[in-house]
Chain A
Amino acid sequence: MARHIKNPPMGLMASTPKRRYRRMSESKVQKAGKVVTAAFVMDVADEVTAAKANVRRKRLHVDSGITVETHTATAINSIQVAIGEVAGAASLVLPEAAKYPNLSTLESDDTWHGNPRDMPDEDLAFFGLEK
């Protein structure tokens, strides 16, 4: 009986070609997933620090410019899982209106907000601070 074999076995002791081919594609998928995850995290991290409160869920193949060669459906699935994890992590830097609910605040009609390096001269003088 003739057998149609995609990859001819190398010898009598060789494992079946179909199984070997699947193992190779699996490791490629895992590597692709890790590379994509790392690149996506860096990409999102840059976006997030630039945009502060605005985080847009990125569509991998449109915005990030990462080309992913996939051979099987499992590759796409692993990448989608990675995107989900990263998008969830990115939500940590969103505004925190919900994070300290019902917190009463000390209010004054004479306040200044900003970076300590930008303190107005008048305030520096009040507290006896050098510039």
Chain B
Amino acid sequence: MPSGRPAAKAADRAQSKQQPALNPVPRGEVFGFMFPFGGTVKYPHPGIVILSQVGLRRGVQKVGVVALAITHSEQRVSWKDKNAVVVPAEEKAGMGLDGNQQWVCLFEQVTAYFPDDIKRIKSARTSRLGRASEEFSMKIYEAWSDYRNSR
């Protein structure tokens, strides 16, 4: 939550009287999302949440979510310019993924804003696949952070 801004805090308090509290989505949660992979058509893929925060977006309180796509398509994984991370075998079941080899794509991101707490969104129930371990979730977050900051 943003801090040190009296006007924003007052607005938050006013809004919280009207609607229930919003909560960020825990890092590592896996939901289905649509991803375009650079094309014009979007396809459903699992997405792992790496960042989530509640804040004001264009004057409205929202839950912001950043997620990365997971794909079956073989990805180049080199130490020099890492753009994908293999999903470890032991993570798949908890994440709700099938047994095929899959990659988290550091280059394919969705940023979505929700006006309601995600638990109250209808599509969240049917699209939730599972959750990665804290260790793997942090590994992905750090890899994404490195990827974003390099070049």
User: Interface of A with B (CB < 8 Å)?
Assistant: 52-53, 92-93, 95-97, 99-100, 103-108, 110-117, 119, 122-123, 126-129
CB distance from B4 to the nearest CB of A (A): 12
Q: Which residues of A contact B147 (CB under 8 A)?
A: 116-117
A93 and B73 in contact (CB under 8 A), knowing A105-B34, A117-B148?
A: yes
Residue B28 at the chain A interface, CB threshold 8 Å: no
- Say whether A103 contacts B32, CB under 8 Å: yes
Sample of 20 further A-B pairs with CB below 8 A, known A92-B73, A106-B124: A52-B39, A100-B43, A103-B45, A106-B32, A106-B118, A106-B123, A106-B127, A110-B62, A110-B112, A110-B113, A111-B113, A112-B111, A112-B112, A113-B42, A113-B108, A123-B64, A126-B55, A126-B64, A127-B66, A129-B148
User: Interface of B with A (CB < 8 Å)?
Assistant: 31-39, 41-46, 51, 53, 55, 57, 62, 64, 66, 71-74, 106-114, 118, 121, 123-124, 126-128, 144, 147-148, 151
Q: Which residues of A contact B73 (CB under 8 A)?
A: 92-93, 96
Q: Which residues of B contact A95 (CB under 8 A)?
A: 37, 39, 41, 43
A116–B34 Cα gap in the complex (Å)?
16
* Chain B interface helix/strand/loop/mixed: strand
A115 and B109 in contact (CB under 8 A), knowing A95-B43, A126-B53?
A: yes
A96–B72 Cα gap in the complex (Å)?
8
CB distance from A67 to the nearest CB of B (A): 30
A120–B69 Cα gap in the complex (Å)?
19
Once A and B bind, how many residue pairs between them come within 8 Å at the CB atom? 107
A87–B114 Cα gap in the complex (Å)?
42
- Say whether A104 contacts B32, CB under 8 Å: yes
8 Å CB contact of A113 from B36, B53, B124, B126 = B36
A127 and B32 in contact (CB under 8 A), knowing A106-B127, A113-B110, A117-B151?
A: no
A104–B45 Cα gap in the complex (Å)?
9
A126–B144 Cα gap in the complex (Å)?
17
